[in-house]
Structures are given as structure tokens and as C-alpha cells.
Structure 1
Amino acid sequence: MTEETNAVPAWEQRFRAARVSLPDWAEDAPERALYVSNATGTFEVYAWDRAAGGHRRVTDRPNGTTDAELSPDGEWIWWFDDTAGDELGVWRRQPFGGGPDEEAVPGVPAAYSAGLALGRDGTVVVGTSTEEEGTTLYLRRPGADGPEVLYRHAEYGGVGDLSYDGTLLAIDHTEHGDAMHAAIRVVRTADGSTVAELDEVTGRQHPCGVACLGFAPADGDTRLLVAHQRRGHWEPVLWDVADGTETALELRDEQGREFPGDLSAQWRPGARSLLIEHEYEARSELFSYELATGVLTRLDTPRGTVSGATARPDGTVEFLWSSAAEPSAVRSTSGAVVLRAPGPVPPRSVPVEDVWVEGPGGRVHALVQRPAGEGPFPTVFEVHGGPTHHDSDAFAAGPAAWLDHGYAVVRVNYRGSTGYGQAWTDALRERVGLIELEDIGAVRAWAVESGLADPARLVLSGGSWGGYLTLLGLGVQPGDWSLGLAAVPVADYLAAYEDEMEALKSLDRTLFGGTPEEVPERWRASSPLTHVERVKAPVYISAGVNDPRCPIRQIDNYVRRLEELGKAHEVYRYDAGHGSLVVEERIKQLRLEIDFVRRHLGDTR
């Protein structure tokens, strides 16, 4: 595929084309909804009056806004206000029909967000995270002037859900010190006393996680929908927190077989049925499950990825769907497109091929896209972030841009990725980064041996954790890569730990099995700065100066060492946090990366 000959190339059209998120509707006013769109060139929050058909931009900030929630009655829009993408801020609110913003809960200090729950009776729970106090959950009662502290702990946690009547609060917490496997505590909002605890970590030889999926949407109903990993993958169970009983869900496909992938669930209105999502091998599908009969019904969704779904009171299900070849749209099981972004539809791209490669820890799944022509091709290994995330068969403007320029694109769901079972996700502990690189290296070897990739033109690229693996890979596997493109990376892990937000410190302690003082050899072995002397390939680094996740000081440390060693590199710093919500800034960053690659590897078109 080559770029179009008009004034705006296809790859830029994909970035500039307006997009919309899945609309979130008010529980007691389903015709009032919120969504996020980049229609103005910056991702902002929009209100949608579905009955009247009107759309209104709610937020307008230079660095964009994405975190927002509707009150159950649909009267108020809550949105999180930080400074230039630094994620440190407070919740504000404005009337659904428009009006001035106000601080939503005066008395809650600026902090990193640890969740929000808005009760139907006016109860509000705001979660905060700070280095000084750890996790704090503030409760504001209906009619109260200010908030009170309901929960506080040094380890990371967050707001799970409020019960339908506002009397119970579920808390996801990691008081046991394992940030990869949370526990759930349910407390009374009246006095903070504990009602129930679900902990699959403490005292267990094989710990697993649980996660709050939401209380039943019915008055007096004490059932909590929970996800667990007891059988090695995520699946839902009903937990009645009043008496501690659990109700297993017998989920089988049309042939009576257990589902091989991860299962998630959410309540459908009325609390008599559930919406089930099955995620497996980089794709997803939807089902409806009747609790009384145990009947599971497949919903009609195309092959690809559902990036969010919601069950409407009229019985339909709306979902955001895309594939690597087809741009996203908000669709309905009624067959209609519910919400389409204004303006032209972005150009299509190339479908993905599934490749399985034997790696040192088992079969590794990779998604491969080929440009037009015959290989071997210059190839970009686009490494996903997280690390507890995975690449899927979904539309993405970045990989499509490389294809337009004649590059093959390979995306690897290395050990640590989600969607392939708990053992695969948990495997990266202690040898952090090095295990992922073993899997990426196995797929690289396949790409060269199969004739897909030109070994003299291999680009290792990624953002966030993918940026970290890029820098680490350039030092640990110096002969394997021709160039490196690292966006918002971890570069000096010791300095990153000192400066990063508290939630990530907790995760890092879990991954490494201790602090830098307790297990220094593990931290040093996994830090890109340790291996910088071995880097051979030119490296391009981009970084947000306000980034709380991969802070700028540790990147500057790495860059300074590159300079001292005389290594070929370029650096681009921009005024934002962990990435940008401004479309033109994203285009600029990719244009700079494409230019860097062309200058070093030549023009492939």
C-alpha cells in the first residue's frame, strides 16, 4: 500500500478523522449520555441528549480531557481536572445542560485518581493516591458540607462500586502487598465497618486476583458481580456479600465447551441477566446470560475487537467495534450504527495475520500485517505497553501509517500480556523486561527466517512499557535491531521508581519482588541504563515533560549517558503527560519518527 496522492496522505487522514468512544449513559436517565471525541482536534468530553439529538462539548482544555462520569440522575457531569497531563488533580462538575464548572467535592486534596463512585441518593466516594498517604477514600454523605475519610492504607487500592441504595461500598485493595492480584473488601458507608472480604492472595500458595465488576442494579440486592482467576483465567461469579454465598456461572459455548479465554461480565438493567464478554487470542465476542435459566445467547458481532459494550434498558446492546482493517464505530445489536463521528471515515488498512511462534516460555502469539509487494520487508516491531495489556485485532492509526510507508508491522503478545491466562501474565516477575524480550526475540527470529523481515532493516518501537522494552532491547539484544523508537519509556529504572506515581511504585515492588534496596541486582539487570554501553543502533526518544508514569528526569539520565558515550540518538520533548490527547501533536510525533527511520534506513516507497 502506498500513500494517496492528494494533499493529505492516508496515514494522516486516519489520525485526523474524528473518533468517538462508547457512550456512557445515566442509570436513571438513559437518554443522557457522555462520550469522548477528538472532533475538534483534541480529545474532550461531550454530552449527548439522545432524546433531543443534541451534542455539546463539555470540556475545552489545551491538553484534552478523557475521564468523566454522569451522576445516576443525569443532572451532573463529573470530570477530572489535572494540569497539562500530569494526572494530579481534582474532580469538577457541571450541569448536563451546560453551565459553570465547580469543584465537585471541596476538601478533597489534589491527588492521583483512585476511582469515583456516585450514588443514587447523593452519596459520593472519591479515591485518591499520594506518596505521603497512599490510598485514601473520601466519603461525602448526602447533604453534608464536606468529606470524611472512609478508608486509608499505604498500599494501592481504589473505589470498586457503591451498592444501588448507597449503603455498601466495594473496595479493590492490595493491602497484602501483591499489586498484581487485588482483594475486595465491602464496607458499610454508615460507619466504615467491614461486611465481607474476598482475598485470594493472603496465605495462598498460588495467589490469584479478584476484581469488582459491580453491585446488582436493584434496591436491597446485596449481590456483587466479581471476576476471579481461580482456574487460571478471568471468569465471573456472583457473591452475595450479606451471607458470603457464591453462585457459579455455568458458561459454555454452543458445543457445550468451556471458553478458553478470559470472561468478563456486567449487569444488564433489572439485574436478571448479564452481558458477557469473551476475550481470546486478540479478539472478543459478546453473549447474554439469563440468571434464572442459565441460558447463554451469542450476540451478533463481527470478527474483530469489542473495545467496550453496554446493555441498554430497551434490551439492545451497544458496543464499540473495530478490526485492524476497519475503523471503529459504535454499533448496536439492533443492526444500527448508534453513533458515528462527524466528517469523513478514515481510510481502511490491512488485516492482521495470526502467527504462533515457539518461545522459551511457550507459544507466543503475534499479529502480523504486510504491505503490498514481496518481502523481505523493512519491519517495525511495535511493542505494546502495560505490561498487563495486549495487542488485538483492532484499528490503530500508528501501525497503519508504517504499512503505508512500505513497512511490515509485527506486534507480539509477550509473557506479561493479558488474554492468555494468569500464568502467562504473571510470568514476567523478577526478570522484568528480560522475559518479554526473549519472546520478542523468538518472533524476530521467525520473521527473518520466514522471509517476512529484512534483518538489516528491523525497527524496535513502542510506547510506555513498550518504550521501556525498546531501550532495554537495544542494550540486551544489540545485534538484533537496526533502530529504536522509544516513546515515554522507562529508561533509568532506579530513578523512575523514585519519581513515579505511588500506584506504579506498588506495582514495581510486586514485579521485582522488593524495592531497589532489597533486591538491587534485579533492578540493575532490568534497567536500560545498565546496558546503554552495548547499544549499537541509533535511538529516537520522545517524552512528555509532565509525565508521572515515566518521569522526565530518568529519561534525561539515559540521554545524558548516550551523549557521553557518543551514541547516535535524537530526543523530542513535548508539553504533556504520558502521551498527548492533541491530534496534531500525535501526527507530529509520528512524522518525526518516520523521518528518523527514513534517514537511517532509506525511503522504502
Structure 2
Amino acid sequence: MHDLERYLNVRSAYGASIGPAGTLAFLMDTTGTPQIWTLDEPAGWPEQRTFYDERVTFCSFSPERRELAFGMDEGGDEFTQLFRLDLDSGEVDPLTDTPDAIHYWGGWSHDGDRIAFAANRRDESVFDVYVQGRDERGEAAELVHEGDGWLALAGWSPDDDGLLVTEHTSSFDKDLYVLHLDSGDLEHVTPHDGDVRYNSPSWGPDGEAIYCCTDRDSDTLRLERLDLDSGAFAVVEDGGAWNVDGIALDDETGRLAFSRNVDGYTEITVGELTGTTEYDTRPAPDLPDGTAGGVSFGPDGEVFALSASSRTNNTNVHRVAFESGETEQWTRASTAGIPRSTFREPELVHYETFDGREIPAYFTLPAEDVRASAGVPVIVDIHGGPESQRRPSFSGLTQYFLSRGYAVFEPNVRGSTGYGKAYTHLDDVEKRMDSVQDIRAAVEWLTDQSAVDPDRIVAKGGSYGGFMVLAALTEYPDLWAAGVDSVGIANFVTFLENTGAWRQEHREAEYGSLDDDGEFLEAISPLNHADRITAPLFVLHGANDPRVPVGEAEQIVEEVRSQGVPVEKLIFEDEGHGISKLENKIEAYTTVVHFLDRHV
């Protein structure tokens, strides 16, 4: 049996970008935080290019030069700054120097002479659009559009005269605009009523159309083409009961790859446009049966890179030949010496909840030789969001718990993405606690499984999943042996009052507004029912969390502790919304494991 530190040392390689000469750049966490590495051949010895204690959040090759743009924040505060790395000299230059602002990367111009980004420098609650020369530094960027909402960028037009701008009103309501750089005009190209998503937008090859994944007039996301002259949409690919949830399109060749999310598993389709909505398919890449994404085409469209992961394969970067589909795994991120054969696969199950609805979940049992004869303890692991989905990708921590004899149950309760628009809205505002009832139904299903010990069931979750843990402990206290809350919401009112200014309106669209729904938000907040908690509680948080401020952890710990319930708290001063540094992960989850060993 391997110890926890070994499992947390399983590496991940992802976020790939292909350079002009075929060099592959990617992020890998070998040093304990994600840094930039490069390879010039498959399975070669990678060269480390950045050497920071803080995480690098992305890297993007210039289309014309051996240089990369990358982003980095400090202590998990999400105030990302942009940098340029010259691969030949190794020199790093800061492109931005506004540490109290967030910078969202918007891409290189096709000639590699300019970059674009969105930032909340002027007002922390809104994002503006900036353009900057590759040799300019600090605050030299030109403000080309003042925004009045949450803006981000999806790339330069093929002629570099425009930028594709996205506006996020909520997780389910987005808009697309074209910013004409010569005139400064911002053209709204997706006027609509109600909530509509326009995800993963990409310029068409001629600059006359946008391709995106949208649930306009559909319960699920479809791949559609928007003609910019007429404003008309046309369906390119309908995923049927499943979302077409991502597209990468090379705007010079018309070559594309898009993904379909089938019960959490990724199916990749590769093709080349032969008309406005027609395409010829190519062989699909040969990848592990799990999740894949982050497609990045090479400069000539002949190859593309993507990251792939499964429950028994840690995340690695693969490079795919466009015409043949020949797939090579370029990176060899270490499994820390743990045999892949010991990693456990989940079973996809569906359980009935209070209103007769079937809830999908992944259920993984430990190997028989580590199962307790009287029944195994179970960790009910609840994802965040709630506009998210638990999918079958690799988790070293999950595999560790399985190796120690725990089963793991991962439900996609109502409100999760991946199952259609209607499903995601089943937990909106006044229906919030219906999703918590789905957790109760999960425990009822588990107690009917002969392999499970119903007296040793743990609630575990992060962010919104942390709220779900606290809510499950207050609503159904008799079901739980323990709870583990990571960066979770304890009180919706204080959370909305203190979350980052750029996020408040976005979050109110999901949870309810302070002005209109304040009384209801108080009524469902776990903090106000903490006297019902009887199970031991562990609370984990980052002091720099801009999304769910650390006060949420401090409030719930103080209140539960005052009830005489065993509570442990661990706050990291150099972390934000989650634990990203390896040494902190080791300390955090070693402490969690000891907590569960004592109480479960």
C-alpha cells in the first residue's frame, strides 16, 4: 500500500500549445505547482521553462516566434498577470503590472505582433478590453473598449481587424459581440430573450461567421454557425440527448475538432469544413476512455494537441495527426511509481430521488482485498458549481481513499451541467434544497448496497459542494459519520456580500439576489441551522479566496464548535479557492485522512 504523499505526487500534464516549429509547450506540476515545460519529440525528456513557487495558469505560443505568453497569480488570489517567455534566451518579461486587477488572456494576433486581454483595472466589478504590442510592458496597453459587465475574449478575427468578445451575465446566459478595432464599435451579434449559452466561440475561416456551442432553441448544446451578415444560425452538429460542449476551429484551414459529453465521457469528432455547415470527418484520436479537451491546432493545421485523462490514466498531452488520426502520447507525467493496474474504475449508476427522477452518479468500490467484511465506509463526494459536472477524470486523492478501503460515490445532482438546460435549472433559487434532497436519496441508495456500512458515510465537497456538505449535515444529521467542507459557502448572504465584485451579479443569477431573496437565502444557509450538526466536521479554506471568502469557514467553525461538536479547521495563508501547492495538499489531506481515521 502506498502512502498519501505518493498519490498526491501523481503528476498531470495539460494546457498544451504547439509552436511554429512544432515545439509542444504545456503545463506540468512536477515541481509542486504547474509550470511551463516543452518537448520537441514524443516521450522525450521535457525541458522546464518557468521556475516559480506560484502556479502558472496558462501558456500560449506566438504564431510566428519561439515565444510564449503565460499567466500567473499570487497565492491563489486570481489576480492574474501576463508574461512573455522567450524560449531561446529564457528571458521572462512582464506584459502587465497591475497586481490588483485580473487579466483574462485574449490571444495573439495572427502576425504575433499584438496581444489582447480583458481586465478589471478601471473598476473591479467590470472588465474592459485592451490591445498591446508584444514589446510593450506594464500599463502600456491601449484601452479599446470600456465594458459594463463581465467580458472576456475569444480571439482575433482572421484579418486581425476585430476581436470576438463574450459577456457572461450568468452561467446560463451569455452573449457574443464583435469589437471592430478600426472604429471601436462593439457589435452585438447574439441578441436574445431568456437564458442562452454561446460557449466555446471560434471565428470561421473567412471571418464572416462564428461557430459556437449553443442551447438556443434546444435543451442541449449544439454546434451551430452564426452568419455575421444576416444574423442567421444554422446547425452544424446536433448532439441529441447530449451536449456538444466544446469546439476548436483553425480559422486558416477550416479544420476542427469538437467534443460531445456522453454521460460525462468525452467523444471527439475531427473534420474539415467543406461548406458553411458541412464537414468531412477524419479518424478520431485514440484516447483513454474518460475525458479530453483543450484542443490546440498547430500553425498549419496538420496536427493538434489535447489533454486526456481517465480514472486509471493520469492527465497527459497527446498529439494527433489531423488526416490519419494517429495519436501519440507526448508527455509521460509520472504516476509516482504507483502501478496503473491498481487504480480503480467507477461504475456509472442511476438512483431514484424524491420526485421519481433518476440521478446519475459514479460509484467506485475498493478492491476486495481491502474491503472491510462488515461493509465499507463511503465518501459521498459532491462537486462544486453547481453549474459543473463530476466526470471520470483522474484524481490521486480519490484513488488513495479507494486504496485505504473507502468506497467513493460521486453524484451529479439536479443543477449539474451535462444533462440538458432543464436539468440545470431544477435547483434555481427557491428550489435550492431539492438538490440536497438528492443527496439524501443517494445515501438511501447506498444503504441498500450490501458492500456498504450505512453507519460510516461521509459527506465531502468543495466550493458549492462545501455548501452541500454543510446543508446535508444540517438537514439530515442522522445520515452522516463525518463531513469535510473545503472552501464552502456557510451563509449565502455573507457570501454574496463579500465575494469578488465582478462575481456578485453572476452568482445572484443562480442563488437569488440579496434585495429580492434575502430572507429565503438566510433560511437555507447552513450557518443558521448549525445547531443541528452532530457529525464531526473538518473545514478547509484558503485565506486569499476571492470567490468564497475565508469568513465562511470561520463562521461555521465557530458556531459548530460552540455546540460541542468536534470541529477541525485548516486555513492556508498562501492559497485561494482550493489548494494548489503540493506541500499544502500533503498537509491538508494528511490532516483530513487522520480526521476520518479517528471518526469514521
Q: Same fold (TM over 0.5)?
A: yes
Identity of counterpart residues, as a percentage? 21
Match of 1:91 in 2: 82
Alignment counterpart, residue 212 of structure 2, candidates 204, 226, 239 = 226
Match of 1:505 in 2: 504
Match of 1:386 in 2: 385
Q: Is the 8 A contact 2:59 2:71 kept in 1?
A: yes
Structure 1 range deviating more: 164-173 or 560-569:
560-569
Distance change in 2, residues 1:225/1:535 (3 Å)? same
Q: Is the 8 A contact 1:490 1:554 kept in 2?
A: yes
Distance change in 2, residues 1:153/1:477 (3 Å)? farther
Code of the residue aligned with 2:191 in structure 1: it is: D
Alignment counterpart, residue 23 of structure 1, candidates 16, 20, 27 = 16
Match of 1:466 in 2: 465
Alignment of structure 1 residues 75-154 onto 2, 5 Å? 75-105=66-96, 110-121=100-111, 122-129=113-120, 132-140=124-132, 146-154=140-148
Alignment of structure 1 residues 56-71 onto 2, 5 Å? 56-71=47-62
Code of the residue aligned with 1:339 in structure 2: it is: T
Stretches of structure 1 lacking an aligned partner (at least 5 in a row): 253-257
Structure 2: how far apart are the matches of 1:355 and 1:280?
14
Match of 1:329 in 2: 316
Code of the residue aligned with 1:41 in structure 2: it is: G
Code of the residue aligned with 2:143 in structure 1: it is: V
Structure 2: how far apart are the matches of 1:95 and 1:142?
11
Alignment of structure 1 residues 590-601 onto 2, 5 Å? 590-601=589-600
Alignment counterpart, residue 183 of structure 1, candidates 175, 180, 185 = 175
Match of 2:395 in 1: 396
Match of 2:515 in 1: 517
1:585 equivalent in alignment to 2:584 = yes
Q: What do residues 135-175 of structure 1 show as CA deviations (whole Å, max 9, x unaligned)?
A: 2222236888832323333432211221122211111114x
Structure 2: how far apart are the matches of 1:511 and 1:272?
36
Alignment counterpart, residue 364 of structure 1, candidates 346, 355, 359 = 359
Stretches of structure 2 lacking an aligned partner (at least 5 in a row): none
Q: CA deviation at 1:214?
A: 1.5
Code of the residue aligned with 1:363 in structure 2: it is: E
Q: CA deviation at 1:56?
A: 3.4
Structure 1 range deviating more: 393-402 or 82-91:
82-91
Q: Is the 8 A contact 2:314 2:333 kept in 1?
A: no
Q: What do residues 33-52 of structure 1 show as CA deviations (whole Å, max 9, x unaligned)?
A: 32111112332222444599
SS in 2 for 1:434: helix
Q: Is the 8 A contact 1:306 1:321 kept in 2?
A: yes
Structure 1: how far apart are the matches of 2:21 and 2:415?
38
Match of 1:545 in 2: 543
Q: CA deviation at 1:301?
A: 3.4
Distance change in 2, residues 1:308/1:11 (3 Å)? farther
Alignment counterpart, residue 199 of structure 1, candidates 166, 179, 191 = 191
Structure 1 range deviating more: 302-311 or 52-61:
52-61
Q: TM-score scaled to structure 2, two decimals?
A: 0.89
SS in 2 for 1:66: strand
Alignment counterpart, residue 347 of structure 1, candidates 327, 339, 345 = 339
Q: What do residues 14-50 of structure 1 show as CA deviations (whole Å, max 9, x unaligned)?
A: 3213331142124xx1523321111123322224445
Structure 1 range deviating more: 343-352 or 402-411:
343-352
Match of 1:305 in 2: 291
Structure 2: how far apart are the matches of 1:214 and 1:459?
43
1:427 equivalent in alignment to 2:426 = yes
SS in 1 for 2:478: coil
Alignment counterpart, residue 307 of structure 2, candidates 288, 310, 320 = 320
Distance change in 2, residues 1:74/1:586 (3 Å)? farther
Q: Is the 8 A contact 1:214 1:266 kept in 2?
A: yes
Code of the residue aligned with 1:18 in structure 2: it is: R
Q: Is the 8 A contact 2:316 2:332 kept in 1?
A: yes
Q: CA deviation at 1:365?
A: 0.2
Q: CA deviation at 1:363?
A: 1.4
Match of 1:255 in 2: none
Alignment counterpart, residue 263 of structure 2, candidates 281, 302, 312 = 281
Q: Is the 8 A contact 1:432 1:511 kept in 2?
A: no
Structure 1 range deviating more: 401-410 or 16-25:
16-25
Q: CA deviation at 1:227?
A: 1.4
1:214 equivalent in alignment to 2:202 = yes
Q: CA deviation at 1:190?
A: 1.7
Q: TM-score scaled to structure 1, two decimals?
A: 0.88
Distance change in 2, residues 1:464/1:82 (3 Å)? same
Distance change in 2, residues 1:199/1:513 (3 Å)? farther
Structure 1: how far apart are the matches of 2:308 and 2:338?
15
Structure 1: how far apart are the matches of 2:442 and 2:453?
14
Q: What do residues 533-569 of structure 1 show as CA deviations (whole Å, max 9, x unaligned)?
A: 1111110011111111121123212222223332220
Structure 1 range deviating more: 344-353 or 529-538:
344-353
Q: Is the 8 A contact 2:315 2:333 kept in 1?
A: no
Alignment counterpart, residue 554 of structure 1, candidates 552, 555, 558 = 552
1:34 equivalent in alignment to 2:25 = yes
Structure 2: how far apart are the matches of 1:247 and 1:30?
36
Q: CA deviation at 1:597?
A: 0.8
Q: CA deviation at 1:212?
A: 4.3
Q: CA deviation at 1:237?
A: 1.2
1:570 equivalent in alignment to 2:565 = no
Code of the residue aligned with 1:38 in structure 2: it is: D
Q: Is the 8 A contact 2:16 2:59 kept in 1?
A: no
Code of the residue aligned with 1:264 in structure 2: it is: G
Structure 2: how far apart are the matches of 1:317 and 1:345?
29
Q: Is the 8 A contact 1:540 1:569 kept in 2?
A: yes
Structure 1: how far apart are the matches of 2:85 and 2:134?
18
Alignment of structure 1 residues 413-424 onto 2, 5 Å? 413-424=412-423
Structure 1 range deviating more: 468-477 or 411-420:
468-477
Match of 2:533 in 1: 535
Q: What do residues 229-263 of structure 1 show as CA deviations (whole Å, max 9, x unaligned)?
A: 021111111223244343421457xxxxx463434
Q: CA deviation at 1:11?
A: 4.3
Q: What do residues 313-368 of structure 1 show as CA deviations (whole Å, max 9, x unaligned)?
A: 46445432232133333334424322212575543311111111122462100100
Structure 2: how far apart are the matches of 1:465 and 1:74?
42
Q: CA deviation at 1:283?
A: 0.6
Structure 1 range deviating more: 56-65 or 347-356:
56-65
Structure 2: how far apart are the matches of 1:199 and 1:80?
32
Q: CA deviation at 1:408?
A: 0.7
Alignment of structure 1 residues 434-513 onto 2, 5 Å? 434-513=433-512
Q: Is the 8 A contact 2:14 2:306 kept in 1?
A: no
Code of the residue aligned with 2:450 in structure 1: it is: G
Structure 1 range deviating more: 14-23 or 483-492:
14-23
Structure 1: how far apart are the matches of 2:11 and 2:397?
15
SS in 2 for 1:411: strand
Code of the residue aligned with 1:508 in structure 2: it is: R
Question: How well do the aligned residues superpose, as a CA RMSD in angstroms?
Answer: 2.7
Structure 1: how far apart are the matches of 2:21 and 2:519?
54
